[in-house]
Structure 1
Amino acid sequence: MPCPESLPFLKELCWNIADPSLLSESEMLGIYERHWHYRRGVVLTQTEQHWIQYLIATYGAVIESHEV
């Protein structure tokens, strides 16, 4: 699955990374996992929800797919 162009929550989490789209899929998933607690109050786009579910299905994760 190609990486979506717009991942606003990931971009917010990667405030210190110039271009988060250059991260590998497993690096992206690791960032989502480490910072998942920050999603409170954040409404994920449907595209980003599907992307996270894809990453979980592909690599396995601490985040449960029903939490996305």
Structure 2
Amino acid sequence: MTQPQATAEVFYTAFQALKKSEREAFINKLLEDEKLAEDLRYAAVIKKRETEPTISLDDYLAKRSAKK
């Protein structure tokens, strides 16, 4: 385990130990940072869609221009 992974594990363990109201307050604090909130939304979408088949950029652009 790398140092960044170990640090992340410590923070995650501490987060899990919080009461529900404390976890919600922490998450709300994170979401106050608009850039971080956007990054978290993108990460959630990527995680949700990671099992979908990939498409090449050329294929995507061809399909996109065909829709116009």
Give the TM-score normalised by structure 1: 0.35
Higher RCO (C-alpha 8 Å, min separation 6): 1
Q: Could you say which structure has the larger radius of gyration?
A: 2
